[in-house]
Amino acid sequence: MEFIAPRADRFALLCSILEECSLCRWILEIAGKRHIAVGGGAAVIPSLGKGPGSGPGQPALIFTAHYDRVPNSPGANDNGAAVFQLVETAASFRRDGGPLFIFTDGEELSGGESLRNQGSYTLGLYLKENGLGDARIFTFDACGTGDTLIISTAADQLLKNETGLGAEIVRRRVQTLRDEAFKAARAARLEKVQTLPTPFSEDAGFLRAGLAAQTITALPQNEAAAFSSLVRRGGTGAALSRDWAATPPGDRERVPETWRSLNGPGDSFSRLTPEHWKGMVDFAKALGAPKGRGCLTARA
C-alpha cells in the first residue's frame, strides 16, 4: 500500500524493495529519467553485446515495467502491479541468469508531449548505442486486473504507415515477439489469452526509437470479450488514444472499464485482482526461461 500512497517516492521505495529481495540494481540516468536495471550484466550494459537472456544467435531479452504514474492517481494497476510481478519474476531468476529487467521512468506523458519525451524513447536510443538494438523487449503494463492475458497489437497501429527496410525489420521482430508470447502462455498453461489493440505503453517510445517491443497486459474476461466484439466492428481508434469521450455512446460501455479507470483516482488497490497474479508471473517466467529449459514455474 505504501507504493500507491499519494506522496510515495516510488523510485526510493522500489530501490529498497529490490535490496530487500537481494537483487543487485544499477541506475541508468538518461535524459533526466532514472531507470532501474536488474539482472545479469546490468552493471555493464555498454559491453553486454548479445546480453542477458540470449543464446547462440539469440538477441538479448529485456523485460520492462514503468514505475512512474500520473499525478493524483494511486497508480495501482498503472503500473504498480506489473512492477511487483516483475520483481517476483526477477527474484526467481536470481541464480539462473534470465532476462535483463528494467523498471523504467517517464512512461506517462503530459499534455502536448510527444513520444520523444517518453522515457522508453531515450532508453531505446541508449540501448541501440550500446549494442542492444536487436533486443527482444517485452513491456508489462496494467497487468494487475483480470484473468485474461492480452498480447497487444497496438504496435501494428503505430507501424502501419511506416515505410522502408528498417520499419519492415521492426515489424518482423514484433511478430516474432508475439509468437514467443503465445508459446510462453502455452508453457505457463494459461487458458485465457487474446490479442487486442490496447492503449500504447512503453512500446510506443521503443518503436519510435527503432526497437521492436511487445506490450503485455491483462483484462477481466468479460471486458476482453466485449472489447473484442467492438474491435471486430472496427471501433478501435478511441481505445488506442484513450479518448474515451470520443467513443460513440453505443460502444462506450464496450471499452474496458479497467482501461477507463487508468490515470485517475479510480486506479486504486480495490480494482486489483491479486488472485490472478500467479498466472502473469508464471507467464513471465516461461517467457524468460532459457531456450530448451522450458517453464521455470515448478522451481519457483
* Residue 300 domain flag: no
**Helix (H) or strand (E) segment spanning residue 27:** strand 25-30
List phi, psi (to 5°) of 229.
-65, -40
- Asked whether the CA dihedral 46, 10, 144, 2 is positive or negative, the reply is positive
Closest by CA position to 60, among listed 76, 42, 77, 72: 42
CA torsion 140-141-146-152 (nearest 10°) is -80
- CB-CB contact of 120 with 64 (8 Å): yes
Give the Cα separation of 76 and 67 in Å (integer): 10
- The alpha carbons of the chain give a radius of gyration, in whole angstroms, of 18
The SS3 assignment for 198 reads coil
* Residue 211 domain flag: yes
The CATH code of the domain that includes 97 is 3.40.630.10
Chunked in runs of 10, what are the mean pLDDT values of the chain (300 residues)? 94 97 91 90 48 60 96 96 97 82 94 88 94 94 98 90 87 96 98 94 95 97 91 62 56 80 94 97 94 41
pLDDT digits (tens, 9 = 90+) for 208-222: 999 999 999 999 999
Burial class (CB in 10 A: 0-12, 13-18, 19+), 232: exposed
Cis peptide before 79 (omega within 30 of 0): yes
* Residue 84 domain flag: yes
Closest by CA position to 203, among listed 193, 215, 188: 215
Give the Cα separation of 100 and 117 in Å (integer): 23
Partners of 195 in beta bridges: 151
* Residue 278 domain flag: yes
pLDDT of res. 174: 96
HEC string of 86-124 equals HHHHHHHCCCCCCCEEEEECCCCCCCCCCHHHCHHHHHH
pLDDT of res. 141: 98
pTM, 2 dp? 0.90
* Residue 297 domain flag: no
Give the Cα separation of 155 and 152 in Å (integer): 8
Give the Cα separation of 142 and 216 in Å (integer): 8
pLDDT of res. 102: 96
Residue in this structure with the C-alpha cell 536470481, named with its chain if needed: 94
pLDDT of res. 40: 60
Give the Cα separation of 118 and 115 in Å (integer): 5
Within 13 Å, how many C-alpha atoms sit on residue 211's CB side? 33
pLDDT of res. 160: 84
Give the Cα separation of 113 and 9 in Å (integer): 23
pLDDT of res. 292: 45
Q: What share of the chain is helix, strand, coil (3-state, %, to 5)?
A: 45, 15, 40
* Residue 299 domain flag: no
* Residue 18 domain flag: yes
Provide the number of structural domains found in the chain. 1
In terms of residue numbers, what domain contains 18?
2-292
pLDDT of res. 252: 64
* Residue 225 domain flag: yes
